[in-house]
Amino acid sequence: MKVGILGATGAVGQKFIRLLQGHPWFEITALGASERSAGKKYKQAANWIEDVAQPEYIAEMTVANCDPSEMSGVDFVFSGLDATVAGDIEKAFASAGIPVISNAKNYRQDPTVPLLVPEVNPDHIELIPTQTFTEDGSGWIVTNPNCVAVPLSIALKPIHDAFGIEALQVTTMQAISGAGYPGVASLDILGNVVPFIGGEEPKIAPETQKLLGSLSNGTITRPDYPVDATCTRVPTLNGHMAAVNVKLVKKPQSIDEVRSAVLSFKNPIAELDLPSAPKEVIKLHDEEKYPQPRLHADQEGGMQLHMGRLRSGVIFDVSFVCMAHNTIRGAAGGAILNAELLVKKGYLQ
């Protein structure tokens, strides 16, 4: 299938390009970026920050404006656009009959738009037909969550299914790549911690609740547990870590019961053999010093969710840490997996 990348020169766009190299189903045939880049060869337009060589054929492609008329011939587009422009551009593509698999936040809370993590809520794709961008249903939008909501929702899914979440407290230690490029100034973060990330904390409740919600009759019924969150930036490159505390509706007998729920998690897309899916979705570490961003963020192609330090608390029923690669699992890789699911389910063809 022919795909276009919106926001192709940015950090997320570069990750799309990297991850799609050699993809068995998808071939990049169009690159869209801002006016500043449009008309240039990609190698001149982009300040390449990936640690693999820029693919030759991409380097020589001419960047287009993010306009459906300039990127014709694609079967769908991935969007790594900045939220300041994603709203209009993604709508324009969907309205032109081009499905948009987006990493931007703009449509995440739209009740007709799936906020999708294939291992968590694959059935939410059934929302797609309720979208009204086109009359014939050919254009639509699917989004993936914020890079913190992704690991949280995966880690919480088996726990929520088994016990129900009553309250959630999260403290994150997030990697610099989450801020894009140039992003965080080195003087702000080298040997430092910044105890605030603008806009991050308020996303956790609505995004995890929509992801863990159940769809019926075209409507998602969300759990509405309270959330307290503190999001911080630390000097790691990739891999957002979260220290998580959860109160449960149904009390487990012991922490082993929770452990069992996690270990026996039934991955709903296991049978589909999607190219970007990790074999083991949740890796639960027993060593107290694990997981760690440097050691585990890249495992299984950066698509695995790592949990550790699973234990009982005294205020909360369960405490653990979880970590996943923020720009792969938490952004471009997650979007690609979404597209793969949508192919298998017949929405993309």
Stretch that binds its own copies, among 81-89, 101-109, 257-265, 311-319 (CB under 8 A): 311-319
310 makes contact with its own copies (CB under 8 A): no
What single-letter amino acid sits at 36? R
Based on the residue annotation, tell me whether 322 is a catalytic residue of this protein: no
Residue 59 CA, chain-centre distance (Å), reads 26
Beta-carbon count within 10 A of 349 CB: 9
Residue 161 CA, chain-centre distance (Å), reads 21
309 makes contact with its own copies (CB under 8 A): yes
187 makes contact with its own copies (CB under 8 A): yes
Least spacing, CB of residue 192 vs its own copies, in Å: 4
186 makes contact with its own copies (CB under 8 A): yes
State the binding string over 321-340 for its own copies (x if CB under 8 A, else -).
Answer: x-------------------
**What is the rounded distance in angstroms from the CA atom of residue 246 to the CA atom of residue 243?**
10
Based on the residue annotation, tell me whether 240 is a catalytic residue of this protein: yes
Of residues 124, 240, 285, 296, which has the active-site annotation? Answer: 240
The continuous run of DSSP H or E covering 79 comes out as strand 76-79
Stretch that binds its own copies, among 71-79, 107-115, 153-161, 233-241 (CB under 8 A): 233-241
CB-nearer residue toward its own copies: 124 or 296: 296
CB-nearer residue toward its own copies: 49 or 83: 49
**What is the rounded distance in angstroms from the CA atom of residue 342 to the CA atom of residue 349?**
9
- Structure tokens that stand for 299 in this block: 């495992």
Stretch that binds its own copies, among 84-92, 211-219, 316-324, 339-347 (CB under 8 A): 316-324
Query: Would you mind telling me the total number of residues written for the chain in this entry?
Result: 349
Is residue 49 classed as helix, strand or coil in its secondary structure? coil
CB-nearer residue toward its own copies: 196 or 216: 196
* CA distances (Å), origin 195, targets 102, 172, 189, 198, 332: 28, 9, 11, 10, 26
Interacting residue with its own copies among 167, 215, 255, 272 (CB under 8 A): 167
Least spacing, CB of residue 319 vs its own copies, in Å: 6
Q: Of the candidates 170, 176, 174, which has an alpha carbon nearest to the alpha carbon of residue 152?
A: 170
Interacting residue with its own copies among 50, 82, 126, 257 (CB under 8 A): 50
252 makes contact with its own copies (CB under 8 A): no
Return the CA Rg of the chain.
20
Residue where the block lists tokens 């234990």: 311
Contacts of 226 (CB under 8 A, 6+ apart): 167, 168, 205
Least spacing, CB of residue 303 vs its own copies, in Å: 13
In order, the DSSP letters of 149-170 are HHHHHHHHHHHHHHH-EEEEEE
Is residue 168 classed as helix, strand or coil in its secondary structure? strand
232 makes contact with its own copies (CB under 8 A): yes
Of residues 66, 124, 147, 160, which has the active-site annotation? Answer: 147
Q: Which residues are known to be catalytic?
A: 147, 240
- Applying CB under 8 A, the residues found at the interface with its own copies are 49-53, 167-169, 171, 173, 176-177, 181-196, 198, 226-228, 230, 232, 234-237, 241, 243, 245, 247, 288-299, 308-309, 313-316, 319, 321
